[in-house]
Structure 1
């Protein structure tokens, strides 16, 4: 059932309209949520998978209640997303990166570096077109400004933005 659900998602379901489209949006989101529960390791309730979202095979994804993967977002297949997480469109979250430690052989021949799963804690808002680098933890209550490139961790309730992302202010 899992393999069938993945094939169905990438062939048909990821082309269905977003939840904001009148009349058909919400039923389409419930259909995508139903299949996400078959694909993901753990899928909460009221999950919103945006049109065109990509998540690899989804095998190790954990997503909490009332959370979303935005329109055209790309997330790794080993991410942990908490409750009440909002993700704008076109967010890219990396789960790995090229190895580049050696200088005696080309980087393309060095393979990939593994990182622990990205963790997005509860009540996080990731603005559209943001890029999240591998191995990070987005702490509870954080806001990532649109277009930010997040390369390091920040404290809870931070508002960050820019390239590379910097602390703009604390919400506390």
Structure 2
């Protein structure tokens, strides 16, 4: 492990410890602390996300490959993958041994006001549009258009998140600001 790698390891260990200690106090403080750490490590954020669970995970360690839009919610146990080294392992099975690992890095983009459900996996190169609803346990890859509802493994688009919103609003009897209702009618 290089000196820089060791410093990052210690930095992340400190942040994990601090997040766990802050859990005892206030969730709001824990969340702000975690978001500041993500920014420090290079994650790009348009504005403050709505929520990123401390139990979510960035696998690959290159936070600069991740863009999170304004108002995004990332639930617990979501894994953001910025790399894919499976070709290296498969190559070995085929008798192909190389000094340099075979694989790729890919950016991840999560559009404004999108929701990523618990246990989802966001693959390298995924581009999630604005206002998307990613169901729990979904494996997301490729480009997801704005306002899509995506579920499954592999993720499939099954609807429009605006339709889901209006059906739920009607069923639950939510009182919405009249200008919000007028703007969509």
Matches within 5 A, 1:1-172: 6=12, 8-10=14-16, 12-17=17-22, 24-33=26-35, 35-36=36-37, 40=39, 58=41, 60-67=42-49, 68-75=51-58, 76=61, 77=63, 78-100=65-87, 102=91, 103-105=94-96, 111-172=101-162
Alignment size in residue pairs: 146
Shift of 1:40: 1.9
Separation of aligned partners in 2, 1:149 and 1:98: 17
| TM-score in terms of structure 2 length | 0.66
Extract unaligned runs of 5+ from structure 1: 42-57
- The farther-off stretch of 93-102 and 77-86 is 93-102
| TM-score in terms of structure 1 length | 0.70
Richer in helix (by share): 2
- The farther-off stretch of 108-117 and 149-158 is 108-117
Extract unaligned runs of 5+ from structure 2: 1-6, 163-185
Provide Cα deviations, 1:115-155, integer angstroms capped at 9, x if missing partner. Answer: 33211111110000001110111111111000111122221
- The farther-off stretch of 94-103 and 114-123 is 94-103
- CA distance 1:112–1:119, shift in 2 (3 Å): farther
Shift of 1:32: 4.0
Shift of 1:69: 2.1
